[in-house]
Amino acid sequence: MALPGGAVAAWSDRSAGDLRPRPTGDLPGVADASALARFAGGAGVPPGARPVVWLRQVHGAGVVTVPPGRDPSGSEGDALVAPAGSAVVLAVLTADCGSVALSGDDGSFAAVHVGWRGLTAGVVDRAVDALVAGGASRVAAALGPCVHPSCYPFSPGDLDVVARLFGPVVRGRSADGGPALDLPAAVAAALARSGAVLANGVDRCTACSGRDFSHRARRDGGRQALVVWAGGAER
Ligand SMILES: [Zn+2]
């Protein structure tokens, strides 16, 4: 889907298989990301756009800006930012966490991995701030499939922590009526607070859709991906 501002985002489901880059076994630190690249190619990434950049995600708030001419894949972080004019494809991998595509009106873009720990650490705010610092005056955002409150029972203490930061909107109810985190609402609140405008993404629960990998529902080891790239013609 094309976002206001020009970036394009695509989310995989389990039909695309496990898209995690795999250790090659040849050289330490070198991974095979060909499954991710194949999905990106099938999703409409232009042939010249490369590489597919990915991170070693740690549920934190680290933002990695892709430097010109260098591939930071495998670096630790949870948000990737590409300055205007970048031909790279940004990828984050999830099983139940949120994945947010950001699109700046200056042609910059970002991909953000956001679970509740990253959210409370400020990963959404920091990623939007990075686009604004780079020259974007407006930032559009779209959230992909993630666990929804009916499938996300949450400890009352942790829920209080998230609610203190993002408001009562984060308090949901699980299918059995207990306290739950409304991750989509929490991500939307974080985006609104940071000044980004939320566009329509993919409103689907990874735990009960049957289409997605879910760590919470089935302890799936596989991961789906969000890939984001510069749209070019849409700008
Ligand atoms: Zn569900």
User: pLDDT tens across 93-148, in order?
Assistant: 999 999 999 999 999 999 999 999 999 999 999 999 999 999 999 999 999 999 99
Check whether 29 has a pLDDT greater than 70.
no
Q: What's at 157, amino acid-wise? A: G
The alpha carbon dihedral of 77, 170, 209, 191 has a sign of: negative
Mean pLDDT of the chain: 94
Q: Quick check: 153 and 179 in contact, CB under 8 A?
A: yes
Residue 191 CA from chain centroid, whole number? 13
pLDDT confidence of residue 30: 76
Output the CA 221–ligand 1 centroid distance in Å.
18
Which residues neighbour ligand 1 (ion) by CB within 5 Å?
Answer: 148, 151, 205, 207-208
Output the CA 210–ligand 1 centroid distance in Å.
9
pLDDT confidence of residue 28: 67
Write the pLDDT tens digit of every residue in 55-77. 999 999 999 999 988 999 999 99
Q: Mind listing the domains of the chain with CATH numbers? A: 7-144+197-230 (3.60.140.10)
Tokens of 3: 């976002």
- Calculate the alpha carbon distances from 52 to 31, 88, 234 in Å: 12, 6, 21
DSSP category for residue 3: P
| 53 membership: H or E segment, kind and range | strand 52-53
Check whether 49 has a pLDDT greater than 90.
no
Question: pTM of the full predicted structure?
Answer: 0.95
CA neighbor of 29 nearest in space, from 91, 73, 94, 90? 73
Output the CA 3–ligand 1 centroid distance in Å.
26
Residue 223 CA from chain centroid, whole number? 12
pLDDT confidence of residue 13: 97
The alpha carbon dihedral of 115, 184, 218, 174 has a sign of: positive
Check whether 36 has a pLDDT greater than 50.
yes
Output the CA 184–ligand 1 centroid distance in Å.
12
